[in-house]
Amino acid sequence: MKLLQYTVLFLTIFLIVGCEKSGVNETALTTNWKFKKLGDTEWKNATIPGTVHTDLLANKEIEDPFYRLNEHQLQWIDKTDWEYHTTFNIPKKELSKSHIELDFLGVDTYSKIYLNDSLILKTDNMFRNYSVDIKAIAKEQNNQLRVVLESPIKKGIELYDATPFNIPVSGNDLSEIGKVEGNKKVSIFLRKAGYHFGWDWGPRLVTSGIWRPVILKSWRAFKIDDVFIRQKKLGEKAELTAQITLQASNKISKSTIEVYVDDQLIKTEKQQLQSGINTLSIPFSIENPELWWPNGMGNQKLYTVSVKVTDGGHTDNKSHRIGLRTVELITEKDTIGNSFYFKVNSIPTFMKGANYIPQDVFLTRPNSANYKHILNSAKEANMNMLRVWGGGIYENEEFYQLCDEMGILVWQDFMFACAMFPGDKSFLKNVRQEAIDNVKRLRNHTSIALWCGNNEILSAWERWGWKQNVIKEQSEAIADTIWKAYTDVFHKVLPEVVQAYDPDTRYWASSPSSSLGVAESHDSGDAHYWGVWWGKEPFENYNVKIPRFMSEFGFQSFPELASVNKYTIPEDHDIFSEVMKSHQRSSIGNGTIEEYMLRHYKKPKDFPSFLYVSHLLQAYGITTGIEAHRKNRDRCMGSLYWQINDCWPVASWSGIDYYGKWKALHYGVKKSFKKTIVSFNKGEDSLGIYIATDSLKNYNASLSVKLFNFDGKELHNWHKDVLIKGNTSEEYMTISKEELQQFTSQFDTVFLQAKLTSEKQLIAEKLHFLVPFKELKLPNPELTFSVSENEDNYLVTLKNKKMAIGVFIGGNFDLNFSDNYFDMTPNSEKTIYIPKGNIPTLEEFKNKLNIISLIDSYNSTTL
């Protein structure tokens, strides 16, 4: 799967780079790989890119690490050294070239690499790419490449023991599950994805492996190392420069450099190349540029810019697909504090999205289809930003390519989260190189909107008591040393790298923070609000805890039953069973879901109902938050909830489970992130009806609010013609409690339906209940359905007589429905689609269906 993705990538590179004439030849070493425990004699087949765990699994040496409690039996793997081996030949023609190198695009993490028995490389950072000249050792036949991977835990313990003081680390490093001697939290010493050591949504599976391709490269006269397309000015024409870094074997008196835009030659220059590294800067322009827009604001035009260098018989070229746009982060003083919002193409843009974590604990498993699924899901849910969070990885090329194509801006963290880090010289040097490698790799992507130093480290130091604890338990001098390491990394090394390699993109040192080195506040900068969940505060607090930009907030749910069935057996089906608790990593997990659930809903009658109500609860909470942020856009200009996806099957804050199934949250988010929404705001004695819009135009519309009972009888309606102002949020109508009481005395059997229409089109719609769900006297909705099919989809047409809340089309389906977990007002009809996938017949589809609504989750006695 992964192999296919890289093969496509390398085929593309191969086609671009050219073959015979180019002088630069690239081959990914993907075959003949074997692996074994260091010291063992028997070699087993291995897949590169891959990990030790996935190779052991493929060889049936271990059981599925995600099934039930298996994770706990596999902790020996990270305490073992492993060895990988392959052989390869180099065609004579390539061998005769003056430069032959091996590029390692990702080795996890500590390794010694030997070619033909010579040590050619030592690695100590999974995020870096390494290149080694092997000209002197390479031969035509039977080159022996051996990679010895040292146990990350053993290496970590060495580094831990060599540090004369304790560096604070959050409890996310699950050293206890890892059975690490003395419970040492070693993750911070290794430049390796933090979440491999466990997280409050992730397993503890500390991998080793060659996780990105190994490339054999040969070239003669010169090779282009890098092309950075910088956008200088964007007006009637776009002025750009191609900054080219190129290595030449010898001085070349005349080389021709050509720049193509969408296959059209637009610039030619002659340059003299020096032996060694050359840096060239070629200005060029694009007439009548078409701008790139975030999702929902316009098209995502991408221009293919290619740079071709030729000298006599040698050619090399590199291409990037780039969008023309400006992204500015505006952090300026205002009447509240300091703003924090993005302007895209000069337009203040409300950021709608989520936080993203790696899609699997085993990084080589997600394939192209998985990447497309997550990013399509983000796009479909009307998102325009994802935050690539700092405890995971700098993602694969494909992730950013899809973001470029889909109009999803990326808030890119550097890989530091929830821990203080060492700050010795070699650590800083390593981090600097990691940052250079990744900024250079990603800076051409139009989607990159922000580089952020770390996740929650400043908050932890200043607000969670870490600094005080270090002073109390160790000394003030040690606290100074630890803080100096922080400022060296986040206030010096990283911003220097961004300034040098991607000067047009803003750097923000820590999420959340008010400004450089100043901890979080709701008046300035970005914020993570965890009062709901960790603080057990009510969902209603989302309406009052409004920061300038909400970069994290969240609430958990379980995966749906069909997903839970994949990692459990029926006897595990209790939220407090050992297996369900193990697939829950938040210290307050399942009990907190239950506690909030009982605040809002009646106690569900059984385990499947509990899972289902947990989805409704999560969607209700988080969409309340999203709409609160959008209603307050004068103050708050972004809403990124925690988290869009999962890295294994688990109860978590995700809106899409590990198997790709949308939870109620994702369906709900899609509605709350629509361009224009209507939303109710509950005051003490009145209800405000808001319209929030990202549409840039003003338009006339009609707002109607109707009061119905659950049988469908209209009790009253309010109406107002409104002028909606572009890119604003405003309260357009207020209905007092007193007024409502004139039309009904039974708030538990009625609902309000607000509809916004313009030119006979329904723009937005929202339902509102006047009492908590658990107090509603829900009738039997008399829900019926029929099924049919068209070429690509099965269709379910639902009809109901009375109010139905949270209609859920369940069953063992791998694919998502066009809508799910929706409310149906009395006497309505709704048709839902599901792609046919691998369900062969309509009959089979029908038999799999299990349709319920909220009332079905109650015992008859709880009605």
Binding site for ligand BMA (CB under 6 A): 199-201, 417-418, 455-456, 528, 552, 642
213 or 649: whose CB is closer to ligand BMA? Answer: 649
In the complex, least distance from residue 717 CB atom to ligand BMA, rounded to whole angstroms:
43
Q: Following CA atoms 655, 656, 657, 658 in sequence, which dihedral angle do they give, to the nearest 10 degrees?
A: -130
Could you tell me the smallest distance in angstroms from the CB atom of residue 787 to ligand BMA?
Answer: 40
Q: Write down the least CB distance from residue 195 to ligand BMA, Å.
A: 9
Closest to ligand BMA by CB, 417 vs 435, is: 417
- Residue 253 class from Cβ within 10 Å (0-12 exposed, 13-18 middle, 19+ buried)? exposed
* Residue number with CB closer to ligand BMA (555 or 601): 555
Rounded to the nearest 5°, which phi and psi values hold at 547? -85, -170
Q: Least distance to ligand BMA from the beta carbon of 455, Å?
A: 5
User: Is the bond preceding 512 in cis, omega lying within 30 degrees of 0?
Assistant: yes
393 Cβ contact list (under 8 Å, min separation 6): 126, 127, 193, 358, 363, 415
237-248 sheet: strands from edge to edge: 222-234, 237-248, 276-287
CB of 450 to ligand BMA, least distance (A): 16
Q: Per-residue b/e over 536-574, b at no fewer than 16 CB within 10 Å?
A: eeebebbbebbbbbbbbbbbbbbbbbbbbeebbeeebbe
SS3 497: helix
Q: How far is CA 742 from CA 715, 736, 739, in A?
A: 10, 10, 5
Burial of 697 (0-12, 13-18, 19+ CB in 10 A): exposed
Decide whether 231 or 586 has the Cβ nearer to ligand BMA: 586
- For the bound state, the minimum distance from the C-beta of residue 368 to ligand BMA, rounded and expressed in Å, comes to 27
Chain CA centroid to CA 707, Å: 40
For the chain, give percent helix, strand, coil, nearest 5. 25, 35, 40
What's the full length of the chain, in residues? 863
Q: Report in angstroms how near the CB of residue 553 gets to ligand BMA at its nearest.
A: 9
Please name which of 82, 149, 161 lies closest in space to residue 122, comparing C-alpha atoms. Answer: 149
Q: List b or e across 156-179, with b for residues whose CB sees 16 or more CB atoms inside 10 angstroms.
A: bbebbeeeeeebbbbebbbbebbe
Residue 194 vs 366, nearer CB to ligand BMA: 194
The distance of closest approach from Cβ of residue 623 to ligand BMA in the complex, given in angstroms and rounded to an integer, is 18
Between residues 199 and 461, which has the closer beta carbon with respect to ligand BMA? Answer: 199
- Cβ proximity to ligand BMA, 417 vs 689, nearer residue: 417
Minimum CB separation of residue 172 from ligand BMA in Å reads: 6
Angle, vertex CA 404, rays to CA 14 and CA 553, nearest 5? 130
Closest to ligand BMA by CB, 278 vs 454, is 454
Q: Which residue number, 456 or 657, has a Cβ lying nearer to ligand BMA?
A: 456
CB of 338 to ligand BMA, least distance (A): 22
For the CB of residue 642, give the shortest distance to ligand BMA in the complex, in Å.
5
Rounded to the nearest whole angstrom, what is the least distance from the CB of residue 554 to ligand BMA in the complex? 6
Rounded to a whole number, what is the largest CA-CA distance in the chain? 92
Least distance in Å: CB of 173 to ligand BMA?
Answer: 11
Single-letter amino acid code for the residue at 282: I
State the minimum distance, in angstroms, from the CB of residue 564 to ligand BMA: 21
| Least distance from ligand BMA to the Cβ atom of residue 298, Å | 32
Q: Which is nearer to ligand BMA, 54 or 412 (CB)?
A: 412
End-to-end CA distance of the chain: 49
Helix, strand or coil, per DSSP, at residue 165: coil
- Which residue carries 């998985």 as its tokens? 370
Beta carbon nearer to ligand BMA, 128 or 528: 528
User: Any alpha helices (H) in 574-654, and if so which ranges?
Assistant: 578-582, 589-600, 607-631
* CB of 362 or CB of 641, closer to ligand BMA: 641
Residue 666 C-beta: closest distance to ligand BMA, Å: 18
Contacts of 10 (CB under 8 A, 6+ apart): 26, 28, 213, 215
Least Cβ distance, residue 77 to ligand BMA (angstroms): 24
Contact 267, 260 (CB under 8 A): no
Residue 129 or 172 with smaller CB distance to ligand BMA: 172
Which of 466/501 has CB closer to ligand BMA?
A: 466
Distance of CA 753 to the CA centre of its chain: 34
**Contact indicator for 648, 360 with CB cutoff of 8 Å:** yes
Which CB sits closer to ligand BMA, 201 or 260? 201
CB of 643 to ligand BMA, least distance (A): 7
Closer of 607 and 642 to ligand BMA (Cβ): 642
Q: Is the peptide bond before 49 cis (omega within 30 degrees of 0)?
A: yes
Assess contact for 648 and 658: CB atoms under 8 A.
yes
Classify the phi-psi angles of 139: left when phi > 0, otherwise alpha if psi is within -120 to 50, otherwise beta: beta
Distance from C-alpha of 98 to C-alpha of 95, rounded to nearest angstrom: 8
Q: Which is nearer to ligand BMA, 446 or 557 (CB)?
A: 557
The nearer residue to ligand BMA, 543 or 654, going by C-beta atoms, is 654
Cβ atoms of residues 268 and 283 within 8 Å? no
Residues 614 and 9: their CA atoms lie apart, in Å, by 41
Neighbours of 287 (CB within 10 A): 9
d(CA 398, CA 393): 13
Strands 506-511 and 448-455: parallel
